[in-house]
Structure formats: structure tokens, C-alpha cells
Amino acid sequence: MEIREFQNMIAEIYLHRDLQRGLEKTMLWVVEEVGELAEAVRKGENIGEEIADVIAWIISLANLCRIDVEKEILKKYPMSCKKCGKKPCECDDV
């Protein structure tokens, strides 16, 4: 599934509610879901589901800001490391 396709789908299902809730409360949802992801990582369970949730909420945030996520991702992560330009990355700091 294309990133743009998923972003459009999230807008179709949730944008009316995201608009009602607003930007800051949506960011709070992102933080809440990241907390659940941290718990999943700590316990070593349910990580996949929590990853899906965090990404979906970030897409909701992007829709509220009229940000094209696929475009932003390609801008920053074209085909090689954004810092050293290599693939695989050869930066010093891990």
C-alpha cells in the first residue's frame, strides 16, 4: 500500500474527528500511543499493533497540518543516509 494511499484512507475515516479534536489533543494521542509502544517494547509483546497505532495517529496529525507524509519522507530519506550520503550509512554516531 502506498504511503499516500494510507494517508488518504485515514483522512476518509478520521479527519472529521481529528478536526473536531484539534491539533494539540491529537499530539497528546500520539504521545499516549508512543507510551503504549514503549510498554510493548519493555514487555516484548504486541509491538506490531502498537507500531500501527502510533503511525496512524501521526498520519492524523499530518492530515490536520495538511502535510504530505510521503513527500516529507522522500525529502529526508531519498535513497541513502541523509547525513553521510552513503548506503549503508557510515556515520560515526550510532
- Point out which residues bind a second copy (CB under 8 A): 1-3, 6, 9-10, 12-17, 20-21, 23-24, 27, 30-31, 34, 37-38, 41, 47-49, 51-56, 58, 61-62, 65, 67-77, 79-81, 87-89, 91, 94
Contact predicate 40/50, CB 8 Å: yes
Least separation in angstroms between residue 17's CB and a second copy is: 5
Least separation in angstroms between residue 42's CB and a second copy is: 8
How far is 69 from 92, CA to CA, in rounded Å? 28
Least separation in angstroms between residue 26's CB and a second copy is: 9
Contact predicate 47/40, CB 8 Å: yes
How far is 83 from 94, CA to CA, in rounded Å? 12
How far is 24 from 64, CA to CA, in rounded Å? 10
